[in-house]
Amino acid sequence: MQQKIIILDFGSQTTQLIGRRVRELDTFCEILPYNKFPSNDPSVIGVILSGSPFSVHDPEAFQVDLSQFVGRLPVLGICYGAQFIAKSCGGKVEKTNTREYGRANLATIDTHNPLLKGFEANSQVWMSHGDTITAIPEDFHDIASTTDVKHAAYAHNNLPIWAVQFHPEVYHTTQGKLLLENFVIDICGSRREWSPASFVETTVAELKEQLGNDRVILGLSGGVDSSVCATLLNRAIGDRLTCIFVDHGMLRKNEFTKVMDAYKGLGLHVIGVDASEKFFNDLKGVSDPEQKRKIIGRDFVEVFNSEAKKITDAKWLAQGTIYPDRIESLSITGMVIKSHHNVGGLPKEMHLQLCEPLKWLFKDEVRRVGYQLGMPERLIKRHPFPGPGLAVRILGDITPEKVRILQDADDIYIETMLNYVCDDGEVLYDKVWQAGAVLLSTVRSVGVMGDERTYEHPVALRAVTSTDAMTADWAHLPYDFMAKVSNEIINKVKGVNRVCYDISSKPPSTIEWE
Distance CA 214, CA 441 (A): 47
Q: Determine which one of 129, 167, 341, 457 is catalytic.
A: 167
3-state secondary structure 26-52: CCCEEEEECCCCCCCCCCEEEEEECCC
Distance CA 183, CA 82 (A): 15
Q: Determine which one of 24, 100, 169, 514 is catalytic.
A: 169
Task: Burial-class residue 207 by CB neighbours within 10 Å (0-12, 13-18, 19+).
Answer: buried
Q: Using alpha carbons, select from 470, 442, 481 the residue that is nearest to residue 31.
A: 470
Q: Using alpha carbons, select from 124, 69, 49, 130 the residue that is nearest to residue 95.
A: 130
* Partner residues linked to 394 by β-bridges: 439
Q: Using alpha carbons, select from 142, 17, 19 the residue that is nearest to residue 82.
A: 142
CB 45, CB 75: distance < 8 Å: no
Whether 60 is a known active-site residue: answer: no
Distance CA 436, CA 384 (A): 10
Whether 167 is a known active-site residue: answer: yes
Question: How distant, in Å, are the alpha carbons of 103, 217, 232, 322, 355 from that of 208?
Answer: 50, 15, 11, 20, 12
CB 482, CB 428: distance < 8 Å: no
Name the DSSP letter for residue 252.
S
DSSP secondary structure of 95-145: EEEEEEEEEEEEEEE-TTSGGGTTPPTT-EEEEEEEEEEEEPPTTEEEEEE
Pairing of strands 92-109, 124-135: antiparallel
Count CB atoms within 10 A of the CB of residue 435.
20
- State how far Cα 431 lies from the chain centre: 18
Distance CA 430, CA 33 (A): 35
Which H or E run includes 219?
strand 215-220
Q: Using alpha carbons, select from 468, 467, 466, 475 the residue that is nearest to residue 504.
A: 475
CB 477, CB 20: distance < 8 Å: no
Name the DSSP letter for residue 209.
H
b/e map 334-348, b = 16+ CB within 10 Å = eeeeebbbbbebeee
CB 256, CB 279: distance < 8 Å: no
Q: Determine which one of 29, 30, 79, 188 is catalytic.
A: 79
- State how far Cα 246 lies from the chain centre: 24
Q: Show which residues are catalytic.
A: 79, 167, 169
